[in-house]
Amino acid sequence: MDQVSDNKNTDEKWAENLSLAEAMKKLSQREKVIITKRFFDGRTQMEVADEIGISQAQVSRLEKTAIQRIKKNYK
């Protein structure tokens, strides 16, 4: 009763983060960079494209493929 609950660090959230980390390990290095920059760093596809030297269309394709692979492996 005298403890403050911590909704951010629940066992369920910890397990989800661990599963996501495992799914990310199965991506290619380029896919990891794109996903990290897009969703963890908040960059746009154009910004990512400029940073890694490919077109925005390539970023879009690689991002889509990476997300599909994460969904497949994220269980």
Whether 11 is in a domain gets the answer no
Whether 6 is in a domain gets the answer no
Tell me the three state secondary structure of residue 34: helix
pLDDT digits (tens, 9 = 90+) for 23-72: 889 999 999 999 999 999 999 999 999 999 999 999 999 999 999 998 88
Please report which confidence band the pLDDT of residue 2 belongs to, taking 50, 70 and 90 as the band edges.
Answer: low
Please report which confidence band the pLDDT of residue 16 belongs to, taking 50, 70 and 90 as the band edges.
Answer: confident
Q: With CA atoms as reference, report the closest residue to 31 among 61, 9, 60, 63.
A: 63
Domain with 64, as residue range(s), is: 29-75
Q: What is the mean pLDDT of residues 5-13?
A: 66
Please report which confidence band the pLDDT of residue 6 belongs to, taking 50, 70 and 90 as the band edges.
Answer: low
Alpha carbon distance 33, 35 (integer Å):
6
- The pTM assigned to this predicted structure is 0.76
Whether 15 is in a domain gets the answer no
Whether 41 is in a domain gets the answer yes
**Number of domains forming the structure of the chain:** 1
Whether 24 is in a domain gets the answer no
CATH code where residue 51 lies? 1.10.10
